[in-house]
Amino acid sequence: MKPLKQQAIEAILNQALGNPKQKDAEAWAATNIALCKYWGKRNDELNLPLTDSLSVMLPKHGVNCRIHLDTEKTSIIVNDQPLDLKSTAASHLIDYVDLFLTQPWQLNLDFNIPVAAGFASSAACYASIIKALNKLFDWQLSSQQLSALARLGSGSASRSIEPGFSVWQKGKDELGTDSFAYALKEKWEDLRIGLCVLSSESKPTSSRAGMRRTRDTSILYRCWEQQVEHDMPLLQSAIQHKNFELLGKTAEHNAMSMHATMESAWPPLVYSLPETRQLQHQIWHWRQNGKSIYFTQDAGPNLKLLFLERDQDWLQQQLPDMIIIEPFTED
Ligand code: PMV
Give the nearest ligand 1 atom to 155 CA. 1
Give the nearest ligand 1 atom to 122 CA. 4
The rounded Å distance from CA 80 to ligand 1 centre is 26
Res 241: pLDDT: 98
Phi-psi region of 140 (alpha: psi -120 to 50; beta: other; left: phi over 0): left
Res 201: pLDDT: 77
The rounded Å distance from CA 193 to ligand 1 centre is 17
**Residue 60 and residue 245 in contact, taking contact as beta carbons nearer than 8 Å:** no
Res 120: pLDDT: 64
Give the nearest ligand 1 atom to 38 CA. 13
Write out residues with Cβ below 6 Å of ligand 1. Answer: 34, 37-39, 53, 120, 122-123, 154-156, 207-208, 298-299
Residues in the chain: 331
Res 203: pLDDT: 74
Res 290: pLDDT: 97
The rounded Å distance from CA 165 to ligand 1 centre is 16
Q: Whose CA is nearest to atom 6 of ligand 1?
A: 156
**Best probe residue, ligand 1, of 31, 32, 33, 37 (max atoms within 8 Å of C-beta):** 37
Q: What is the pLDDT of residues 146-199, one digit of tens each?
A: 999 999 999 999 999 999 999 999 999 999 999 999 999 999 999 999 999 998
The rounded Å distance from CA 5 to ligand 1 centre is 20
Mean pLDDT (the chain, rounded): 95
Q: What is the pLDDT of residues 234-244, one digit of tens each?
A: 999 999 999 99
Res 199: pLDDT: 86
Res 26: pLDDT: 98
> Given CA atoms 134, 167, 159, 148 in this order, what sign does their dihedral have?
negative
The rounded Å distance from CA 309 to ligand 1 centre is 27
Res 27: pLDDT: 98
The rounded Å distance from CA 177 to ligand 1 centre is 20
Query: Which residue ranges in the chain fall short of pLDDT 50?
Result: none
The rounded Å distance from CA 159 to ligand 1 centre is 10
Give the nearest ligand 1 atom to 36 CA. 13
Res 15: pLDDT: 86
